[in-house]
Chain A
Amino acid sequence: MTDEDGADPEDLEARVEELEERIAEMEAGTDDDGKSMVIIATKGTLDGAYPPLILASTAAAFDWEVTVFHTFWGLDILHEEKSKNLGMSAVGNPNMGVPNLAAVLPGMDAVTTKMMRKRIDENDVSTVEELLEISLDMGVEFQACQMTIDLMGYDEDDFYDGVTVGVGAATALEKMGDADVQLLV
Chain B
Amino acid sequence: MENEPDHSLDVKGESCPMPVVKTKQKIDQLQEGEVLEVVATDKGSMSDIDGWASGTDGVELLEQSKDEEDGETVYRHHVRRTNTK
| Interface window among A12-20, A59-67, A81-89, A144-152 | A59-67
In the assembled complex, which residues on chain A have CB atoms less than 8 Å from the CB atom of B13? Answer: 124
* Cβ-defined contact, A61 with B14, below 8 A: no
In the assembled complex, which residues on chain B have CB atoms less than 8 Å from the CB atom of A58? Answer: 17, 20-21, 52
User: How far does the alpha carbon of A79 sit from the alpha carbon of B12 in the complex, in Å?
Assistant: 30
B23 interfacial by beta-carbon distance below 8 Å: yes
Q: How large is the interface on B (under 10, 10 to 19, 20 to 34, 35 or more residues)?
A: 10 to 19
User: How far does the alpha carbon of A137 sit from the alpha carbon of B15 in the complex, in Å?
Assistant: 18
Taking the closest CB of chain A, its distance from the CB of B59, in whole angstroms, is 10
Query: Residue-by-residue, is A137-177 near B (CB-CB < 8 Å gives 1, otherwise 0)?
Result: 11000000000000000000000000000000000000000
Interface residues of B in 13-27 (CB under 8 A from A): 13-18, 20-25
* Cβ-defined contact, B25 with A63, below 8 A: no
* Cβ-defined contact, A125 with B57, below 8 A: no
Contacts known (A57-B21, A60-B21, A62-B52); A124 close to B15, Cβ less than 8 A: yes
Q: Identify whether the interface residues of B are mostly helix, strand, loop, or mixed.
A: helix
* Cβ-defined contact, B56 with A62, below 8 A: yes
User: Of all chain B residues, which has the CB nearest A134?
Assistant: B21
Taking the closest CB of chain A, its distance from the CB of B30, in whole angstroms, is 15
User: How far does the alpha carbon of A34 sit from the alpha carbon of B57 in the complex, in Å?
Assistant: 9
User: How far does the alpha carbon of A63 sit from the alpha carbon of B56 in the complex, in Å?
Assistant: 7
Most buried by B among A34, A57, A138: A57
User: Of all chain B residues, which has the CB nearest A54?
Assistant: B17
In the assembled complex, which residues on chain A have CB atoms less than 8 Å from the CB atom of B14? Answer: 124, 126
Selected contact of B17 from candidates A57, A123, A124, CB within 8 Å: A57
User: How far does the alpha carbon of A160 sit from the alpha carbon of B55 in the complex, in Å?
Assistant: 30
In the assembled complex, which residues on chain B have CB atoms less than 8 Å from the CB atom of A126? Answer: 14-15, 17-18
In the assembled complex, which residues on chain B have CB atoms less than 8 Å from the CB atom of A138? Answer: 21, 24-25
* Cβ-defined contact, A61 with B15, below 8 A: no
In the assembled complex, which residues on chain A have CB atoms less than 8 Å from the CB atom of B20? Answer: 58, 61
In the assembled complex, which residues on chain A have CB atoms less than 8 Å from the CB atom of B56? Answer: 61-63
Binding site for A on B (CB under 8 A): 13-18, 20-25, 52, 55-57
